Chain A
Amino acid sequence: MNKKLTVTLIALMMVLTACSPTAGEQGPAGEQGPAGAQGPAGEVSQAAIDAAVEAALAEEEAEVGGTLVIYSGRKESLVADIIAEFAATSGVEVEVRYAKSAALAGTLELEGAISPADVFFSQDPVSLGVVAKAGLFDRLPGDVLDNVPSWAVDSNGYWVGTSGRSRSLVIDTRDVTDAELPGDIYGLADEKFRNRLGLAPTNSSFIAMIACMIESDGEEKVLEWLTAINGLGYGEYPKNSPQVAAAAAGELDIGMINHYYTLRVVAEDGTAPIKNVYLDGGCGAMVMPAGAGILSSSQNKPAAMAFIEFLHSTGVQETFTNTVYEFPLVEGIQPNALLPDIDSLNSPSNLNWSALALWQEKAVELIAQAGF
């Protein structure tokens, strides 16, 4: 009988699922917005919110504790030590769920108000934008947003950058010369690069780059480019790091990656025959923040805020630049010597991360449509 019961139950669950509303139907984003907002979120002045949040924080600052659930799109090997240090110094008990940033953003969207997460720590701004767009983040106070340059924060203040990363090309210096490389990403769709390119079509930074290209150049041009790259023959990789390994091993000439993977290998083995090439402009030269936001549904906002502030502390910023080879975002932190001057990179100016989030799904569709 047990079995029949189980089966019936499952059938019942399926029917019930069918009847319940999905996350998106739960109401306009504003309803889940910050507690202080009376009308549509946009009408409340940032100063008023700051004041309210700061007042709330000041009250509870002494009592940071309890349990903090972090959804981390940043890899365990990169941030586990940092999180452990936060737990040790703050006395907060921390639970971390690691997965890809985009997958976590999708999960948060699905969970909506019942999400157990307090903080979403993402490796790319587009995933943060997806959660912000769904109205699931609280606004952050102005002083936290002011810790980092304005290009690395959400325009509505829903999340803040914690470190920076640039798109780049990793090249095998034995087989590729600087001279044959194009100035922008579109130049890679050239016969001379036949069977020499590598990319990771499901990597969230690659998708963010495609979203940026759609935003600045339009769907048609992007699809044309993707189709051309596919036609040239390419190495498909599950993510960035194997491209760097393949380039070092001589299997791949040019890989489309984020800059720090190459630097990590070079830092370990100075003789590795690879290097980063930063394109002169366009989305192929995009500099993106990794960042974090606090979920409106969080049961422990003081600890969540303390964690974000901790990520901006000098020690953590130095860890980001010296062990992960990312750009520190807080002023006064010396970038690692392997990094190029961030001001020399020609990232598209005034990128609107929320707009890119809107293009994410289209980007995935175009990538599939081009046959990847």
Chain B
Amino acid sequence: MFWRFANFSKNLSSFLSSWDVSTLLINTVLLFFAVVFTSLLLGLSISILTVRYEIPGSKILFSLTILPLVIPSYIGALTYVSAFSPKGLFVDLFSRYGVNEIIGIEGFVGSWIVLTLFTYPYVQLICSSALRNLDSTVEDAARSLGVKKIKMYTRVVIPRLKKPIIYSSLLVGLYVISDFGAVSLMKYGTMTKAIYSYYVININGDPVIFYSTVLILLALVISFAQRGSELSRSAKVSGTPKEIVKITLSPKNKFFVLAFFGLVIFFSLLIPVGVLSYWLIRGMANGNSVSGAFAGVVGSLTAATVTSVIAMVIATPIVVMISQYRSKFGDLFERVTLTLYGLPHIAVGISMLFITIKIFPAIYQTFTTLIISYLIVFLPQAVGGGQASMEQVKLSYIEASSGLGMSKIDTFFKITFPLIYRGLFAGAALVFLSTMKELPQTLLLRPTGFSTMAVDIWSYASEALFTQAAFSAFILLAISALPTYILSTRNLNN
């Protein structure tokens, strides 16, 4: 990619003047900050409320609010466009009350809303688990000293959650800059959307290469900024989390909190699921058949299973190495992993396309290539999952074990693995989910005739075959709900 960039940089000045690079860059960065901010706000509020406060049905609320994780942002965007376009379903529904037209949501605001609604669960997932491991005695002390609630969270809790907050912002932010489905549907011009529009016209053209390079640089800058800010590690996760005493709320506050959860669930879960149901029911009533989903289901399940298993196998030694050789070596691994995660999918897909055609034509358009490119971007999730649990493996355990004469391999299987396998499974579940949702790489690299549910939904929807699209989307959501449920309960029991 970089070489290709260098190759045409001689035309760069004329190029910069004819393409509107700065606007696209500003748009992308603007959306990045907006979505990260609101996702953090939502995800943190939910985390704090479910972990620290006594709320009726908090386990169910936690699971329901994490569930939007399984809704790919392009499906979310599609349902929002359908519901809230100036004469969309919303207007249909309320036309008898005199609503004829509404200001449709699209552009920046539309992308912002939709991306926030389907990315905040990443924050929730990461921050709630960190918060649960965080000793609440400091907060109790602060409270007994009369520190006001809001001040306590901004001064006491959030600073101690710095690491998970930064990590989840990164996850959300990189999702935002590499998303193309939601922004295309909302007609908001970002770098990724530009790559896609040009790729469709000429994959080999300068614009595709140029925008991909800029996007990769942007992702690298973000990843490295994260590294920099992490150096000041302030979040100390206490070794032995105490039993957390939950704070009781007054009935009035309880009502507000429940109303808040109701709103979040309504917008992030009920609206998309409702619109999908409407399409499906309307379509079936009109006699549309919903056949042909089977190949996509098999394709998605195969791809997601293979990717997550391989990711887990590769991640295990990496996790062990990063934590046990806390040296330059381990640091380098961590840095590479994060950088890989930051690579926008469409750019990775295009690079893989070039590489396989030019160097490895034997594996061009094969399942192998597809899995390799999934692994490039999703491996970090598997590593991240294992790393979190690796913190429980104290170096002293390993030393004790080797002191007792166990071999390194024995130590791994008898001591380390039992302690980290849950984390690794959680990481693998995340990889499974991401692979199920993945679209741009799949479109570019899949073998001819191979399909996934994500591809089916995208192509059905782009041909306005909403019944079929809704049917596939439902299956996708149903299958994804299981690993998500495992992720969220693991989080609660931990």
Q: In the complex, A109→B202 CA distance in Å? A: 9
Closest partner residue, chain B, to A130 (CB atom):
B202
Min CB–CB distance B101 → chain A (angstroms): 9
Please, which residues of chain B bring their CB within 8 A of the CB of A13?
Answer: 355, 359-360
For residue A20, which residues in chain B have a CB less than 8 angstroms away from its CB? 358-359
Hey, what's the 0/1 contact readout for A189-225 against B, CB within 8 Å counting as 1? 0000000000001101001000000000000000000
Q: How far, in angstroms, from A10 to B377 measured CA to CA in the complex?
A: 13
CA–CA, A177 and B270, complex, Å: 42
Query: Cβ of B317 and Cβ of A116 under 8 Å apart?
Result: no
Chain A residues proximal to chain B, CB less than 8 Å: 1-4, 6-7, 10, 13-14, 16-18, 20, 22-23, 69, 75-77, 95-100, 102-103, 106-107, 109-112, 114, 116, 201-202, 204, 207, 236, 238-239, 241-242, 245, 249-251, 360-361, 364-365, 368-369, 371
- Nearest-neighbour CB distance to chain A for B114, whole angstroms, equals 16
Q: Is B448 an interface residue (CB 8 A)?
A: yes
**Chain B's nearest CB lies how many Å from the CB of A351?**
20
Closest residue of chain A to B463, judged by CB?
Answer: A77
Known: A3-B336, A202-B200. A69 touches B448 (CB 8 A): yes
Interface residue? B459 (CB, 8 A): yes
Known: A17-B355, A114-B361. A365 touches B202 (CB 8 A): no
Question: Can you pick out 15 interface pairs between chain A and chain B where the beta carbons lie within 8 Å of each other?
Answer: A2-B314, A3-B336, A6-B314, A13-B360, A14-B3, A14-B355, A16-B355, A17-B355, A106-B202, A107-B353, A110-B357, A114-B357, A238-B184, A251-B87, A368-B207
A13 and B207 alpha carbons, distance in the complex (Å): 22
With A204-B201, A238-B462 already in contact, the answer to whether A371 and B359 are too (CB < 8 A) is no
B443–A102 CB distance below 8 A: no
Contact of B20 with A by CB under 8 A: yes
Per CB-CB distance, the 9 closest pairs between chain A and chain B, nearest first, are A18-B3, A106-B203, A97-B448, A114-B361, A95-B449, A202-B197, A20-B358, A95-B448, A3-B318
SS class, residues of chain A in contact with chain B:
helix
The answer on a CB contact under 8 Å between B87 and A100 is no
Question: Bound state CA distance, A103 and B462, in angstroms?
Answer: 16
The total of interchain contacts (Cβ-Cβ below 8 angstroms) comes to: 121
A6 to B364 Cα, complex, angstroms = 18
The docked-state distance in angstroms from the alpha carbon of A16 to that of B87 is 53
Asked whether B327 is an interface residue with its Cβ less than 8 Å from the other chain, the reply is no
Shortest A266–chain B CB gap in Å is 16
B90 within 8 A of A: no
Contact residues in B for A6 (Cβ distance below 8 Å): 314, 375-376
B246 part of interface (Cβ distance < 8 Å): no
Query: Smallest CB–CB gap between B210 and chain A, Å?
Result: 12
Residue among B19, B359, B376 with max Cβ neighbours from chain A (10 Å): B359
Q: Which residues of B contact A18 (CB under 8 A)?
A: 3
Among B1, B187, B200, B355, find the residue whose CB has the most chain A CB atoms closer than 10 A: B200
Contact B317 A2 (CB under 8 A): yes
B residues contacting the other copy or chain, number (CB 8 A): 50
Contacts of B197 in A (CB 8 A): 201-202
Q: Looking at chain B's contact residues, is the secondary structure mostly helix, strand, loop, or mixed?
A: helix
- Contact (Cβ within 8 A) B20 A368: yes
Interfacial residues of chain B within 265-324, with CB under 8 A of chain A in the complex: 314, 317-318
Give the shortest distance, in Å, between B491 (CB) and chain A (any CB).
Answer: 27
Q: A14-B2, A23-B204, A236-B187 are in contact. List 10 more A-B contacts (CB 8 A).
A: A3-B379, A6-B375, A14-B351, A20-B359, A95-B449, A102-B202, A103-B201, A238-B184, A365-B18, A369-B18
> A236: nearest residue on chain B (CB-CB)?
B187
B334-353 Cβ-contact flags toward A at 8 Å (1 or 0): 00110000000000000101
In the bound complex, how far is the Cα of B19 from the Cα of A111, in angstroms? Answer: 27
Please state if B376 and A10 are interface contacts (CB–CB under 8 Å): yes
**A317–B18 CA distance with the chains assembled, in angstroms:** 43
Question: Do A103 and B448 touch across chains, with their CB atoms under 8 A apart?
Answer: no
Q: Please, what's the 1-or-0 string for B456-477, where 1 marks a CB less than 8 Å from any CB in chain A?
A: 0001001111000000000000
Is B318 a contact of A2 with CB atoms below 8 Å? yes
CA distance A23 to B4 in the complex (A): 13
A23 to B364, CA, bound (A): 15
**Considering only CB atoms, which chain A residue lies closest to B19 in the complex?**
A368
B3-34 vs A, CB cutoff 8 Å, 1 = contact: the mask equals 10000000000000011100000000000000
Q: What residues on A are CB-neighbors of B443 within 8 Å? A: 99
Contacts of A116 on B, CB cut-off 8 Å? 364-365, 448
Partner of B333, one of A3, A98, A360: A3
Name the residue of chain A whose CB is nearest to the CB of B196.
A202
Nearest-CB distance from B36 to chain A (Å)? 27
Inter-chain CA distance A369–B379, complex, in Å, is 39
Answer yes or no: B198 CB below 8 A from chain A CBs: yes
Which residues of A sit under 8 angstroms from B204, Cβ to Cβ?
Answer: 22-23, 106, 109-110
Closest to A369 in B: B18
Instruction: Give Cα distance in the complex from A369 to B15, angstroms.
Output: 10
Asked if B199 CB lies within 8 Å of chain A CBs, one says: yes
A contact residues around B18 at 8 Å (CB):
365, 368-369
Residue of A nearest to B198 (CB): A364
Given contacts A238-B184, A360-B201, A368-B18, contact A76 B463 (CB under 8 A): yes
Contact of A364 among B202, B358, B365 (CB under 8 A): B202
B200–A17 contact, CB under 8 A?
no
- B464: chain A residues at CB < 8 Å are 241-242, 245
Cα A10 to Cα B207 in complex, Å, equals 23
Cβ 8 A contact of B448, one of A96, A100, A102: A96
Tell me whether B202 and A361 are in contact (CB under 8 A).
Answer: yes
User: Considering the complex, which residues of chain B in the window 178-214 have a beta carbon less than 8 Å from any beta carbon of chain A?
Assistant: 184-185, 187, 197-205, 207
Alpha-carbon separation in the docked complex, A17 to B209 (Å):
14
